[in-house]
Chains A and B, each alone.
Chain A
Amino acid sequence: MHIVDRRLNPGSKSLENRQRFLRRAKALVQGAVKKSSQDRDIKDVLEGGEVSIPLDGMNEPRFHREGGTRDMVLPGNKKFVEGDRLPRSGGEGRGRASDPGEGDGEDAFRFVLSRDEFVDLFLDDLELPDLAKRKLAEAESEGLHRAGYATSGSPANISVSRTVRLAMARRVALRRPRPETIAELEAELAEADEARRAELTAEIEALKAKMRRIPFIDPIDIRFRRFETVPKPVAQAVMFCLMDVSGSMSEHMKDLAKRFYMLLYVFLTRRYRHVEIVFIRHTDRAEEVDEETFFHGPASGGTMVSSALQAMHEIVRSRFRPADWNIYAAQASDGDNSISDGAVTGRLLTEMILPVSQFFAYLEVGESNGSTFEMPDSSLWTLYQRLRADGAPLSMRKVTDRSEIFPVFHDLFQRRQKEKAAP
């Protein structure tokens, strides 16, 4: 008998099959993912989990029969005698017996997606927005890469091993006498007789002369490590969350904003290796706070949007060099702003913020009972709309209900290439 321990074998033998299945069911699964994420708590969006898809298209049909007269033998008779008639539905007659196996196997098929599969499918048709600032959109900076060897360079970059190797090759090729050979001859010289001595001396002299002619290391041997500058994508992003926390913002509105921020965060983490979040809340003055305070800390006062933009601008200047960081900003507000602040806000936005950010989204949140269509254009909305009309790259949407967050988010980041690619 053999005992084989297979536990250490590479697992996931079925992974390939599973991927084939997902590929085949992609459209269906994607739909299911969207649907299931709608009624999911935002925190769990990342968690993957169970989805169910309709079996149609994924079915494996076989010939099978249904209906007709059926005979069956069952165990556990308690009171029946031959010739009894059992009513078809209810009672002990087992309702099952009466319906002739209807249903075409169209019921849902449930299975579990891993976190990565889930998020991938969820964000699959989204991409970073088409940016006005192409230069930054490419999100590149210069970096140094090793690129072979050069014959010139700074002494600090001498590659010793390469240089010595080349020198040795040259010495071998030109047959530079080895010091050991000379030492051997000299030892022989000490004990040799007269005739042999002259011969040896001449030979040693010749060898020594040759050794002097062929240097141990020649300038042509020297190699330097070469570096090339290559464009390197900026793999980090910072996300600014700006929110109005004045008294007019209700819990519901904050919740909407939070959902949007979370989605943005998930999305950015898929695209960038490192994502930082900065929370700025403002009333009539702005401050940078931690997440807990941001969403739950009490605050009151008037509303000055410009203060938040000013704060963001200062933080960008001090901590996030636009060359190194991709900057994303999302602002949530109920749209109130003091009238005197409008001009300042507009100027700050167009001159300071928009030029350095990749993307700026404004989300106007409303009360849950209202609908987006009924919301009157607020002062901030009107202002931003005007800026947009002037060509500022702003994205703005109105949201009143939890269920609208996903569509709005999708809408903002929808892949637009398809439209372009279409003839």
Chain B
Amino acid sequence: MTATAEYLFEGADWDFPKLQRIHDACEEIARTELGLDVYPNQIEIITAEQMLDAYSSSGMPLFYKHWSFGKHFAHHEAFYRKGLRGLAYEIVINSSPCISYLMEENTATMQTLVIAHAAFGHNHFFKNNYLFRQWTDAEGILDYLDFAKSYVAQCEERHGRLAVEQTLDAAHALMSHGIDRYPGKKNLDLRAEEKRAGERRAHEESAFNDLWRTVPTGPIKTAELLNSERRRKLLGLPQENILYFLEKTAPRLQSWQRELLRIVRHIAQYFYPQSQTKVMNEGTATYVHYRIMTRLHEQGRLSDGNFLEFLQSHTNVVFQPEFDDQRFSGFNPYALGFAMMQDIERIVSNPDDEDREWFPDIAGKGDVMGVLRDIWANYRDESFISQFLSPRLMRSLRMFHLHDDPQQTEGILVDAIHDARGYRRIRRELARQYDVGYIDPNIEVVDVDLAGDRRLMLRHVVVKGAQLNETDTRRVLQHLADLWTYDVSLVEVDAKNTVLKEYVLTPRGLAVAA
């Protein structure tokens, strides 16, 4: 019989010494048994109202002022008050120290769960996943937000609220296209440049063959074509980061407007990894909290009653409704992520023949945490699913793939189901659903008519016949035209380069350019 004195807490009440004890117990398990590597933790207790506040500024503790956040706040509040929607138990911020907001209403068990989930699960993921390491600066984000907030406030004072609001409205409309998707090429310094030029020449000399001269080249480029190529190269075109392009090249923006675009762009970039790792991030955190809680219970530090309370909310979190269920709204990232992590644990420790065939690299490797840590560090949702979704999981979730072609009048085709013929296709399709390359419309700035009316030309490459929504596209382009201050055109082309639709918008007044 375990002495009750060993429990971390009893009942539902918590206080600060108890939180500290809980955190230390979780930390011990996280560091020694799971081998997690986390940023220092900062745990903040907040009220429901503060949680609503945090919701409306995308979870960040400080943010600049803008009416759209007020709109989101009003919206969330209306739902919350009517009881249609509960609030999250926690919000965690990718920063160093890693800040987790815990709701004061949580019971002691929930606080334990949330600390294990956010302060260790998410925290480890933020610190180790390659996307976060590459794209976000955990040390600097809070300072940057602080700067952004005061800069926007300053601009409002100096240039008027309306002008700032217009610029921010426009920037927000283009936010999803203000992201660098690929790490830029580092500019070499002169010496390295010279060295490389020398190497290239040496290579050319060593590989010289007069025969190449006789190989026919393509049609000779006209002077006009060369000119336009040169112009595009100078402007850095084509460019898919529209906000970046505006910030650097829009002809009539004030410097403070450029800085505002830059702020919005940086924030969009900061959130970019989060949208690509929803399944993994939640899967990691859920797996970690499940391991920690179970271990605490095994050690006799969590009473049976509290453990059952935990299991109940855990099961709610990882519940996956089926497609014909009223509650269904796509895959639940917690459920899918957790199921995959557990599946990997099984493959590593106790594989069957099928697993050995599908996952020769990890099957039966024995070191569960080592394998998982490696996966958490080096994959994002799309690559994670396409690599590690196992046939067994596809069977247990009974996944199937629908192909809906509006041209096909007979109906929607069931293209693949969870059988030997379908595994790979289902896995590929599901991974694609999480691939930002497919989720976001592919829109690029392709050219600027410098010699003519300075029209900015954009192109949307239509994939699978999905064109842009006309009303919203006009609105976004209107914002874009206001910032560019000359005409803006957007063409939608399909894979064969046929133009499907063309938009042209003229800027409204010159209020923004002033």
A interface residue numbers (CB < 8 A to B): 1-7, 9, 11-14, 16-25, 50, 58-78, 80-88, 92-94, 97-98, 100-101, 104-105, 109-112
Which residues from 52 to 66 on chain B have a C-beta closer than 8 Å to any C-beta of chain A?
52-53, 56-57, 65-66
Identify the interface centre among B402, B418, B464: most chain A CB within 10 Å of its CB: B402
Partner of A24, one of B23, B67, B417, B466: B67
Partner of B466, one of A16, A68, A78, A104: A68
Shortest beta-carbon distance from A230 to chain B in Å: 36
CB pair A82 B77 closer than 8 Å: no
CB pair A74 B400 closer than 8 Å: yes
CB pair B422 A71 closer than 8 Å: no
Given A4-B44, A17-B56, A65-B441, A75 contacting B465 (CB threshold 8 A): no
Query: CA–CA, A37 to B408, complex, Å?
Result: 50
Cβ–Cβ < 8 Å partners of B275 in chain A: none
CB pair A80 B414 closer than 8 Å: yes
Cβ–Cβ < 8 Å partners of A93 in chain B: 411-412
CB pair B441 A73 closer than 8 Å: no
Identify the interface centre among B19, B323, B460, B470: most chain A CB within 10 Å of its CB: B323
Shortest beta-carbon distance from B491 to chain A in Å: 14
Further pairs besides A3-B16, A14-B57: 13, Cβ < 8 Å: A2-B42, A3-B23, A7-B104, A17-B66, A18-B70, A23-B67, A60-B173, A67-B465, A71-B433, A73-B402, A76-B321, A86-B412, A97-B412
Query: CA–CA, A321 to B397, complex, Å?
Result: 82
Partner of B403, one of A24, A62, A69: A69
Shortest beta-carbon distance from B164 to chain A in Å: 11
Query: CA–CA, A2 to B466, complex, Å?
Result: 49
Leading 9 A-B pairs by shortest Cβ distance: A76-B322, A68-B466, A21-B70, A17-B70, A68-B465, A111-B74, A61-B475, A74-B323, A20-B67
Binds A, one of B245-253, B288-296, B424-432, B505-513: B424-432
CB pair A77 B398 closer than 8 Å: yes
Majority DSSP secondary structure for residues of B touching A: mixed
Which residues from 153 to 178 on chain B have a C-beta closer than 8 Å to any C-beta of chain A?
169, 172-173, 175-177
Tell me whether B46 is interfacial, beta carbon within 8 Å.
yes
CB pair A67 B467 closer than 8 Å: yes
Cβ–Cβ < 8 Å partners of A75 in chain B: 320, 322-323, 331, 397-399
Tell me whether B47 is interfacial, beta carbon within 8 Å.
yes
Shortest beta-carbon distance from A330 to chain B in Å: 35
Query: CA–CA, A50 to B432, complex, Å?
Result: 41
Given A12-B49, A85-B410, A87-B411, A1 contacting B399 (CB threshold 8 A): no
Query: CA–CA, A172 to B388, complex, Å?
Result: 93
Interface pairs (20), CB distance under 8 Å: A3-B44, A5-B44, A14-B53, A14-B56, A17-B65, A20-B67, A21-B73, A22-B70, A50-B82, A60-B172, A68-B406, A70-B466, A71-B432, A72-B402, A76-B325, A76-B328, A77-B399, A84-B414, A105-B471, A105-B472
Given A3-B16, A62-B476, A65-B469, A81 contacting B417 (CB threshold 8 A): yes
Query: CA–CA, A4 to B119, complex, Å?
Result: 14
Of all chain A residues, the one with the shortest Cβ separation from B458 is A63
Of all chain A residues, the one with the shortest Cβ separation from B97 is A2
Query: CA–CA, A85 to B40, complex, Å?
Result: 54
Query: CA–CA, A110 to B84, complex, Å?
Result: 13
CB pair A2 B41 closer than 8 Å: yes
Tell me whether B297 is interfacial, beta carbon within 8 Å.
no
Shortest beta-carbon distance from B265 to chain A in Å: 15
Partner of A61, one of B45, B73, B472: B472
CB pair A71 B404 closer than 8 Å: yes
Query: CA–CA, A111 to B349, complex, Å?
Result: 52
CB pair A71 B403 closer than 8 Å: yes
Cβ–Cβ < 8 Å partners of A98 in chain B: 404, 412
Of all chain B residues, the one with the shortest Cβ separation from A62 is B176
Partner of B414, one of A1, A59, A83, A88: A83
Query: CA–CA, A16 to B469, complex, Å?
Result: 32
Query: CA–CA, A2 to B16, complex, Å?
Result: 10
Shortest beta-carbon distance from B401 to chain A in Å: 5
Cβ–Cβ < 8 Å partners of A17 in chain B: 56-57, 65-67, 69-70, 73
CB pair B49 A11 closer than 8 Å: yes
Interface string of B14-25 (1 = CB under 8 A from A): 001001100110
Shortest beta-carbon distance from B62 to chain A in Å: 9
Of all chain B residues, the one with the shortest Cβ separation from A102 is B469
Interface string of B427-448 (1 = CB under 8 A from A): 0011011000000010100000
CB pair A66 B71 closer than 8 Å: no
Shortest beta-carbon distance from A48 to chain B in Å: 11
Query: CA–CA, A80 to B57, complex, Å?
Result: 44
Query: CA–CA, A20 to B23, complex, Å?
Result: 40
